Copies of this chain bind each other. A is one copy, B any other.
Amino acid sequence: MYTNLRNLLIGSPLPTSTTGERRLDKVRALASLSPDALASIAYANQEIFLGLVIAGAAGLAHSINLALVISGLLVLLTLSYRQTIAAYPTGGGSYTVARENLGELPGLVAAAALLIDYVLNAAVSLTAGVAALASAFPALWPYQTVLALVMLLFITLINLRGVREAGTAMTIPVYLFVFVYLGMIAWGIGVALVDGPGSLEAVAPAPIAPVTIFLLLRTFAAGATALTGVEAISNAVPIFKPPEAHNAQRTMAAMAVLMGVLFIGTVGLTEYLGIVAGPEETILSALARRLFGSGPIYFLIQVATLLVLVVAANTSYTGFPRVASLIARDGYLPRQLRTLGDRLVFSNGILLLAGLAGLLIIIFGGDSHALIPLFAVGAFLAFTLSQSGMVMHWRKERGRGWQAKAALNGVGALATGVALLVIGASKFAHGAWIVILLIPLMVVVFRNIHKHYNDVGRQLRLDDDTPEVGCTWHPHIVMPVAGIHRGVIEALTFACSVADDVTAVYVELEPETGEVMRERWRAAGLDRVANLVTVPSPYRSLIGPFLDELDRLDAGQKDGRPVSVLIPEFVPAKWWHFLLHNQTALPLKWALIYRRHRQGKSRVVIDVPFYLHQ
């Protein structure tokens, strides 16, 4: 049953041998890695608008300037990351770069920042997508959270099916979005030429705050979320078809150009045409409505926006599990995150991401505007670290023209670093503090996990390469018995075959029954095989007295090894039969295995099942 459902949803297991085939060509890669960056313009537009509108028309007049500044950063980042890709064809995420060039701590900080951002990207994209949809169908506003969660579930399943299917499924919406928006911008320019500039004064609400530097900086901080996801491609170079690096760079360039056009185009048109959005509508929706009215084209645009944002959330599913597995490989996260699932994807990472994103969506009530302040910090922290890392990289390498490269990355580091300070400071109270608090916490956890794995390794490591295995363990086998039946005989047969020393322990759950038992034991002639010890149990419990008896017997051991325990266990034929038997075997096993022997010596536990056939 379970398996069938699983295969239906996720697909049947794939053999490891098919790994190679799952690489992506440029077109699919662009679809699968760029939407994060492209779709960012949806919420970035919205944030710029919300940030400036409180200063009324005067404020909104700054939209395009902010858009240009941010696009400037985009160019800088693209150039820097092209260098990263060249230097790290095996996938140079901020984590790898920072770790190799700046050392462990910066690496871990970058790791934490990246993981946080992937989760936030999924949450923000989906909630923004719902906002786009609800702008067209205001009746949906109350269901923001539920809708976002449904979409989350949907892409989680797609991704559990495996990366290529994901790639394919995502191609269409991304290109739909690109064409629809390019079309809108072209048409918008036409409209602008015909109608001329619109007047913001006429439509903008009365300012409730003056235009201050701080207001502009804070809006910039929010708008800078447009740049989140730019690094996605450089993290994922290995999933490109060879030549990986080359294809990745081409794809990155294409993405940056597209993004600049869409971002400046939309913001520019909105300002030039003097468009303002109401409380229940996104600014992009308002733009589309102004250009095409509320007809089919408008709805097409909203749907395209929704879809691309869903696909953007999907980028996290490509990135998060991969980065998590890198960190796990270095021993800073649980090993389980490294295991490739049935479908050759890091299933555990995917599930972890889905869980965390879902949590965020619920906590913040499905409102992207509430999530944004947490978002940019991580992204820019990662940017800064990886850029600085690259500077060190070039300095170490000192290849041809290294100064130029180092300089470029240096400028990038500086710019993103300044942006980071602006964002952290201006958005601190709005939620940035959560991330600023979370990152060091995560680093501490990473370190503890790492320490644990080292400890385990050290404790398991052998002192010499050719260990001497002396087969001189003479086990003393102790088995609990409640009566004399086939199960016990079977168990005894095994016990006396492998050990010279066998003791049966009978716990008197009802008083005075021990004597009878000893009698029957002798009568059955079993005392020749194992001697029987009966122990009283004043409180009618089995495990306590048995363990005490074990300690007693341990004390009598010459070789200092604890006695071995054999548990005769009969296995009923039907599951509901378990309800009809006191299940003492299981708790006893647990008590034995997880209760340490004094000198930490291993106590062997032997299970001899006896199968009932009805």
Q: Find the B residue at minimum CB distance from A582.
A: B336
Of A271-279, A484-492, A545-553, the stretch lying at the interface with chain B is A484-492
B17 with A539: CB separation less than 8 A:
no
| Chain B nearest CB, measured from A188 CB (Å) | 52
Q: Answer yes or no: A538 CB below 8 A from chain B CBs.
A: yes
Q: Answer yes or no: A401 CB below 8 A from chain B CBs.
A: no
Chain A interface size, under 10 / 10 to 19 / 20 to 34 / 35 or more: 35 or more
| Chain B nearest CB, measured from A15 CB (Å) | 4
Once bound together, how far apart are the Cα atoms of A494 and B462, in whole Å? 17
Of A117-125, A244-252, A402-410, A449-457, the stretch lying at the interface with chain B is A449-457
A538 in contact with B15 given A489-B462, A498-B498, A604-B606 (CB within 8 Å):
yes
A334 with B580: CB separation less than 8 A:
yes
B485 with A461: CB separation less than 8 A:
yes
Q: Answer yes or no: A523 CB below 8 A from chain B CBs.
A: yes
> Within residues 123 to 144 of chain A, which ones have a CB less than 8 A from any CB in chain B?
none
Q: Find the B residue at minimum CB distance from A500.
A: B471
Once bound together, how far apart are the Cα atoms of A470 and B495, in whole Å? 11
> Within residues 2 to 30 of chain A, which ones have a CB less than 8 A from any CB in chain B?
13-17
Once bound together, how far apart are the Cα atoms of A135 and B53, in whole Å? 62
Q: Answer yes or no: A76 CB below 8 A from chain B CBs.
A: no
B607 with A600: CB separation less than 8 A:
no
Q: Which of B470, B494, B572, B613 contacts A473 (CB 8 A)?
A: B494
Once bound together, how far apart are the Cα atoms of A569 and B603, in whole Å? 11
B471 with A497: CB separation less than 8 A:
yes
Of A280-288, A298-306, A373-381, A524-532, the stretch lying at the interface with chain B is A524-532
A475 with B498: CB separation less than 8 A:
yes
| Chain B nearest CB, measured from A240 CB (Å) | 23
Once bound together, how far apart are the Cα atoms of A203 and B432, in whole Å? 74
> Within residues 445 to 488 of chain A, which ones have a CB less than 8 A from any CB in chain B?
449, 452-453, 455-456, 459-462, 465-467, 469-475, 484-487
A15 with B466: CB separation less than 8 A:
no
Which residues of B are found within 8 Å of A364, using beta-carbon distances? none
Q: Assembly of this chain: how many copies? A: 2
Which residues of B are found within 8 Å of A510, using beta-carbon distances? 16
Which residues of B are found within 8 Å of A487, using beta-carbon distances? 460
B596 with A611: CB separation less than 8 A:
yes
Q: Which of B339, B469, B493, B610 contacts A496 (CB 8 A)?
A: B469
Which residues of B are found within 8 Å of A600, using beta-carbon distances? 611, 613
3 closest A-B pairs by CB: A473-B497, A460-B485, A471-B496
Q: Which residues of A contact B (CB under 8 A)?
A: 13-17, 334-336, 339-340, 342, 449, 452-453, 455-456, 459-462, 465-467, 469-475, 484-487, 489-490, 492-494, 496-499, 509-511, 523-526, 529, 538-541, 569-572, 577, 579-582, 589, 593-594, 596-597, 600, 602-614
Q: A461-B486, A605-B609 are in contact. List 11 more A-B contacts (CB 8 A).
A: A13-B539, A335-B582, A453-B580, A456-B570, A459-B614, A460-B487, A466-B525, A472-B497, A473-B493, A473-B498, A604-B606
**Interface CB pairs A-B, < 8 A, 16:** A13-B539, A16-B538, A16-B539, A339-B540, A342-B541, A460-B486, A462-B484, A471-B493, A471-B529, A472-B497, A473-B493, A475-B498, A571-B594, A589-B607, A602-B608, A602-B610
